[in-house]
Amino acid sequence: MARRQTTLILTRDARGPIAPLEAPAGIRVVYVVRPGDEGFAELDSLCRSYDFPASWVADMLATGAEAFAAIPVDPSPSLRAVAAGWLTRKPFYVDEIGYTFTPVPEGDYYFGDFVEPAWRGRKLQRLLIHRRLEASAAAGRLWAFSMMRRDNPASLRSYQAEQFQPAARLRTMRVAGLGLDRLVPLHPDFPHGWLFTPGWDMPFSLRLRGRNRG
């Protein structure tokens, strides 16, 4: 049976104005770029609690990725963050779609958004998107990108609240281990980065790919 999926690439001009947005009462936000930074232990504890490999956070930071984490001011017994969001400026393999995404030109790719179920509804995802936008602007980046499935309305609302717009749509159909994809630009003024996976270009802007990882 064929499996179909639609993924949106969202883009925002990182040079555009960013309105102030404060953390809700009882939450502090930390910026983690190396294992010794404040908040690393709480971020690492959050990821380990969802069965990420023990070295995953340190390994991601070692590649140049950066993270923001939301941590309760009054620490819970678990001593872990309750939300996190990541960014990278390097090519990044997106396992959900089987492509490597490069945030060009001069962009940051936002990924790894997560909010603990008990803390949802407090706009923590939007808060961490906002903090990443501030970091992108401070670093002189031109564009901010993210990617999500079309059937994820909560995340889509969070990004659109921070003025991200759909820049492209990737439609994927997989049959017997083979993928047939079509990338469609949606916005004439916004780039959508560069997606790559080994495969073969077909007519009508289609791409055929096999079982191997991109």
Lookup: tokens for 179: 């993928």
Spatial distance between the Cα atoms of 202 and 68, rounded to a whole number of angstroms: 40
Q: What is the DSSP letter of 192?
A: -
Spatial distance between the Cα atoms of 31 and 131, rounded to a whole number of angstroms: 9
Give the torsion sign (CA, 124, 86, 142, 187).
Answer: negative
Give residue 115's pLDDT: 97
- CATH entry, 3-209, from 3.90.190.10, 1.10.10.10, 3.40.50.2300, 3.40.630.30: 3.40.630.30
Give residue 16's pLDDT: 93
Q: What three-state secondary structure class fits 119?
A: helix
pTM for this entry? 0.94
Q: Cβ(186)–Cβ(167) under 8 Å? A: yes
Give residue 214's pLDDT: 41
Query: Which alpha helices (DSSP H) does 67-206 contain, by range?
Result: 124-138, 153-161
**Mean pLDDT, 10 residues at a time, the chain of 214 residues:** 90 95 95 97 96 96 98 80 98 95 97 96 97 98 97 96 97 88 96 95 90 50
Nearest Cα residue to 173 out of 209, 214, 212, 213:
209
Q: Tens digits of per-residue pLDDT, 45-81?
A: 999 999 999 999 999 999 999 999 999 998 666 689 9
Strand partners, 134: none
Domain assignments of the chain as residue spans, ordered by start: 3-209
Give residue 174's pLDDT: 86
Q: Cβ(79)–Cβ(54) under 8 Å? A: no
Give residue 75's pLDDT: 66
Lookup: tokens for 151: 């059937």
